Amino acid sequence: MSTKTSTDQKLDVAPPYNAVARHGVSPQPSHDEVARFDFLANFNKFLSGALGPGNKLTYDKRVQPAFEKEHGRAPKDRFEIRHAMNNDPFHTFWSALKRNSMEMRQQNGRAMVLRQIDELSAKARQYNEGRDTLELNPEIEVPRYQNAVDIHCMPGSYHGEELAGDVSAGANYDCGIFATTAGGLGALSDGGGAALVEWIKQQRPGWEPCRVLDIGTTVGHNIVPLALAFPNCEFIAIDTAAPILRYAHARAQSLGATNIKFIQANAEDLSRWEDGTFDWVQTTMFLHETSGKALPKIIAEGYRVLADDGLMFHLEQPEYSDEMPLYEQFIRDWDAFNNNEPFWSSMHALDMKTVMNEAGFAANELFESGVRAVVDTDIFPEAATGDDEDHGRAAYWHAYGAWKNSDQMQEAAE
Amino acid sequence: MTEEVFDWMAAANKKAKGKRPEYFDDPEDERMLSILMAVVGEVSVLRERMDTVERLLDANGTISRNDIENYAPDKQAAYERGAMIREYIYRVMRGPHQMVQELEQVEPPVEEVSRELKDI
């Protein structure tokens, strides 16, 4: 027990939504809209920190013993655990609360964005009209994996429009990241992008990429920090959804990242770019929103357009390896079935090393790394891992990477 | 010709595509919890607004709606308000929170304790 008095004790509370930085297409929140996100940020902390450990307790003490008694063996995979846990009163109640939190985040974000939809469209137009850094291609179809369900319970997904040509999908996605991560991604929800900058500066000090491809960019929050860090580099950011790109482009322009070209394109077919065009090809928290057949195609196309000695880098949640306990696999799977992430479970069971091997990388070119969000820790929290971790949302990622033909390049240089 | 009004309030309530999981035996319980949680959230919003009003009155002795809308807490106030929301959440979530404690420590029914005490 701590003997500290309440005055010198700092409780774990979420930063206020006021601390989120505004950019050129940020919705302007009213007092009460701020307060709604303040509630949700702290409620999500409560769900993962105070109630979350109850899931493991009920599994260890009730669910697993009952399963073993009934079947004469332990559960053989995360699916059996899920079916058993879905009959447990603690876990179902926790899940119902968490699902409600996710739904409230969507309703609260959409209410704020949609009441000012015209103003947001006008702001976006100021940054978008007449600029050749935004290229929309109406012939690009929304892939089935993007519209089978609305991903993370976001009504309309990334491609939905309420009024023709609006930017509400992007604005709603952007503003709510604060609530679901309790501020864990920092003032511009760009802690992932800031982490990429820190990572590459440590790994290859002095390296200046010339051309970078960001696949599944959504609102561009993870590519803007890189674009600002490498102002002489040309960035191409692609996504299949026009509404999110309209927002992403305006957002990037307003933040001064004018060296990113946003293009509506599907990464399964990058034929408009020649072999070896880019010296960095990446995704951040995107591959789990694709599908079993699309993912290897995207990696293979990424490999093709990557130059020798170029970097392929993917940030994801950790994969379900044989070493990961089945219970942890189950709890990491929550979003798959409760928050509309239908490829999440299969994707995390993939061995990414094999996928990247099959795309053309040699085994010795591959590496894995842990990457923690970089945020202003004076205001925003460092991502909790361990018992308090909000699985699936923790701002601590697993990186799958490779330097293409780096050995051969080195040998040639020597 | 009347201009069609975009009903953003109705649009904000759009359901996400994808069948919603069922958590309770009775579907009405799903609706009741969703209403309850929305109210829990709105009470928190009212409390935060009241806190803003009190802080502005403390600082200025007078207040306008504009002051409320534009209020941004400094670091200390932000922490105090965060702690206020946290305290509120712990109070309303007492029931589920105590479920965790029940799981940590399985206890015999009080009837059993009652029988025991009779004989000691």
Residues A214-228, mean pLDDT to the nearest whole number: 97
For residue B102, pLDDT beyond 70: yes
CATH topology for the A182-413 domain = Rossmann fold (3.40.50)
The amino acid sitting at A188 is L
* Residue A161 C-alpha, separation from nearest chain B C-alpha, in angstroms: 11
State mean pLDDT over A230-240: 98
The better pLDDT of the pair B78, A381 is held by B78
Domain holding B34, by residue range, is 24-119
Nearest CA in chain B to A153: B16
User: In the predicted model, what is the mean pLDDT of residues A199-217?
Assistant: 96
- pLDDT surpasses 90 at A396: no
Q: Stretch A265-281: mean pLDDT, rounded?
A: 98
Q: Is B13 inside a domain boundary?
A: no
Q: Where are the domains of chain A?
A: 182-413
Residue (of A43, A179, A165, A47) closest to A111 by Cα position: A179
- Rounded-to-integer distance, Cα A306 and Cα A300, Å: 10
Inform me whether the C-beta atom of residue A156 falls under 8 Å from chain B C-beta atoms. Answer: yes
Q: B3 vs A121, A161, A209, A287, A406, CA distance in Å? A: 19, 19, 51, 43, 62
In the predicted model, what is the mean pLDDT of residues A362-370?
92
pLDDT at residue A335 is higher than 90: yes
Contact B81 A38 (CB under 8 A): yes
For chain B, the residue count is 120
Residue A380 CB neighbour total at 10 angstroms: 23
Q: Are A181 and A393 in contact (CB under 8 A)?
A: yes
Query: Predicted confidence band at A387 (pLDDT cuts at 50, 70, 90)?
Result: low
| Mean pLDDT value across residues A384-403 | 80
Give the pLDDT band of residue A153 (cuts 50, 70, 90). very high
Residues of B in contact with A104 (CB under 8 A): 37-38, 41
**Across all residues in chain B, what is the average pLDDT?**
95
Of A329-338, A343-352, A380-389, which gets the smallest average pLDDT?
A: A380-389
Which pLDDT does position A2 carry in this prediction? 42
Question: Which of B33, B41, B78 is nearest residue A19 as measured by Cβ atoms?
Answer: B78
Residues of B in contact with A381 (CB under 8 A): none
Report how far residue B32's alpha carbon sits from residue A97's, in angstroms, rounded to the nearest whole number: 12
Instruction: Check residue B2 and give its pLDDT.
Output: 57
Query: Tens of pLDDT along B36-52?
Result: 999 999 999 999 999 99
Asked if pLDDT for residue B74 goes beyond 80, the answer is: yes
Nearest to A39 among B8, B44, B83 (CB): B44
- pLDDT attached to residue A88: 97
Give the closest of B21, B85, B97 to A51, CB-based: B97
pLDDT reading at A65 higher than 80 = yes
Q: How confident is the model at residue A5 (pLDDT cuts 50, 70, 90)?
A: very low
State if pTM tops 0.80: yes
Across the interface, of A18, A46, A54, the residue whose CB is closest to B73 is A18
> What are the φ/ψ torsions at residue B67 (nearest 5 degrees)?
-60, -45
| Residue in B with minimal Cα distance to A338 | B21
The pLDDT value given to residue A9: 55
Among chain B residues, the shortest Cα distance to A11 is held by B83
Q: What pLDDT, on a 0 to 100 scale, did the predictor assign at position A381?
A: 75
Average of per-residue pLDDT across A278-297:
97
Share of chain A above pLDDT 70, in %: 96
What is the structure's pLDDT at A117?
A: 97
As a whole number of angstroms, the distance between CA B74 and CA A245 comes to 34
pLDDT in tens, A20-30: 999 999 999 99
Measured between alpha carbons, how far is A190 from B29 in angstroms, rounded to an integer? Answer: 38
**Does A378 have pLDDT greater than 80?**
no
Q: Can you tell me whether residue A258 is helix, strand or coil?
A: coil
Contact B86, A46 (CB under 8 A): yes
Q: Is residue B105 part of a domain?
A: yes
Per the structure, the count of domains in chain B is: 1
pLDDT of residue A407: 77
Cβ–Cβ below 8 Å for A36 and B81 = no
On average, the pLDDT of chain A sits at 93
